[in-house]
Structure formats: C-alpha cells, structure tokens
Amino acid sequence: MRQYVLHRVLLNIPVILIVVTLVFFTSHIRPDFAEQRAAQGQSSTQDYAAALKAIRHQLGTDKPLWRQYTNYLWDLAHIDLGTSFITHKSVGKEMVGRLPASMELGLLQILLAMAIAVPIGIISAIRQDTWIDYVLRIVTVLGVAVPSFYLGTLLLLFITKILGWTPPLITTSYREIWESPVENLKMMLLPTLAGGFAEAAVVMRLLRSELLEVLRQDYVRTAWSKGLRERVIVMRHAL
C-alpha cells in the first residue's frame, strides 16, 4: 500500500510541474500589469516612468524571465503565494479567510447531490429501458454536459424574472451560518443548486451502472427466486 501511494505521488509531481509552468507563462501573455498600475494617477511621462520602474521592481518583473520562473517555483515550494493586486494582502491569508464559505458550499453541494442521485439512480436501475429510465438518463446527460456557471445563470434568471426574488450575493454580504442561518442559506441556495445538480448527474450515472451490475449477480437472482419484495432486495442486498 505504501509503495502504491508513493508511486502515485511521484507520478503526480511531473503533472503538477507542468500545470505550474503553464500557469506561469500564461500569466505573462496578458498585458503588463505594472504598466496599468503605473498609468493610474500619473500626470507626466517622467512620473509614469518612475512609477513603472518602481512597480516592476516591487513585482520582480524587471528580472529575466528565467529568474522570475525560478523565484516563482521557490515561492510555491515555500507556500508563498504572493500579494493580491486588488487587496494588497497576502494571497494565502485571503484564501484562508474564504475557506469556511468554500467548505460550507462544498458540503451543501455534496448533500444535495446525494439526496438527488441516490433515489434517481435506484429508480433508473430498477426501471431499466422504460420511459422513466430514458427521461432520467437524458436529465443526467444534460447535468453532465451543461457547465455549472451556465446553469447558475439560468437559475438566476428564473429566480429573479419568474419568481421575482433576488438572492443576496456572497461576495458582498456573507453571513456565517451560526450568525444568521436563514441569511446564510439564502446566499448558498443558488450556488448549491448549480453545483449540486452537476455532481448529482455524475453520481447518478455511476450508481445506476454499478447497481445494474449487482442486480445481475447470482445472489440477487436467488433473492428474487425466494419471493422477496423488490424493496428488500434493492435496499438490503443490492445496495
């Protein structure tokens, strides 16, 4: 087991290095951020040049590209994610501050996905090749194919235009669940539905496939031959 885990970790190192390298060089494709910063509030060419030089030195972009890349890898190895251009705070601290909301959202999406996927997956499996199965399979294909951000946009339009309700934004007025449970759940409603539906589609397809395979096993056929009810066979033996 240890050798397997070590083998998987070693295989992931090149993948991580490739992703990190792509992120670094992709960030250099966009326009120079230092030029945008230096142009703000400068009335003369001399002031602009001085501000540009100072900002580039602060960001380290005045160094050769290979040097920037090695410094980038070194900082990542020491879990130094730099400073945010927007808030001028440590990126690591910014991420830690947003971690509770992200964890809560992930947990709510998992709970919603399980609540949707388990009963739908069971119904689709035990009603294989019926119109119910076909409808549910079409819904799951849509759930996998439609991106979460697009589904979220459609849900937002439906909630605001049809239902006439505008959900509060997490980015501007986030409330902890222990401070105000109702307001917190209102904020989490839309992203939970958007992400949970996509996760439910994946889980439902996996559950249906595995359950169909189990229902073909000999011990399940034996249970059918004994005259057990379908609910007992599925819930007690198949699952």
DSSP 186-210: HHHHHHHHHHHHHHHHHHHHHHHHH
Residues 182 and 216 in one domain: yes
Residues 128 and 173 in one domain: yes
Residues 76 and 131 in one domain: no
Residues 109 and 74 in one domain: no
What does the pLDDT look like over 30-50, one tens digit per residue? 656 655 665 565 556 666 677
> Domain boundary at 47, 73, 89, which?
89
Residue type for 219, please? Y
pTM for this structure?
0.66
Structure tokens at 61: 């972009």
In whole angstroms, how far apart are CA 140 and each of 38, 143, 193? 50, 5, 14
Distance CA 233, CA 239 (A): 9
Closest CA to 139 of 188, 235, 208: 208
Number of domains in the chain: 2
Its sign, for the CA torsion 122, 126, 128, 133, is: negative
Structure tokens at 175: 């409330």
Q: What is the pLDDT of residue 124?
A: 84
What does the pLDDT look like over 54-92, one tens digit per residue? 777 777 777 888 888 888 888 888 777 777 766 777 777
3-class DSSP assignment, residue 83? strand
Residue 146 has pLDDT above 70, yes or no: yes
Residues 130 and 81 in one domain: no
What does the pLDDT look like over 14-34, one tens digit per residue? 888 888 888 888 877 765 665
Q: What is the pLDDT of residue 17?
A: 86
Distance CA 35, CA 56 (A): 9
Cβ-contact 143, 109 below 8 angstroms: no
> What range defines the domain where residue 12 resides?
2-89
> Domain boundary at 41, 58, 89, which?
89
Q: At what angle do helices 148-157 and 181-215 cross, to 10 degrees?
A: 130
Residues 47 and 144 in one domain: no
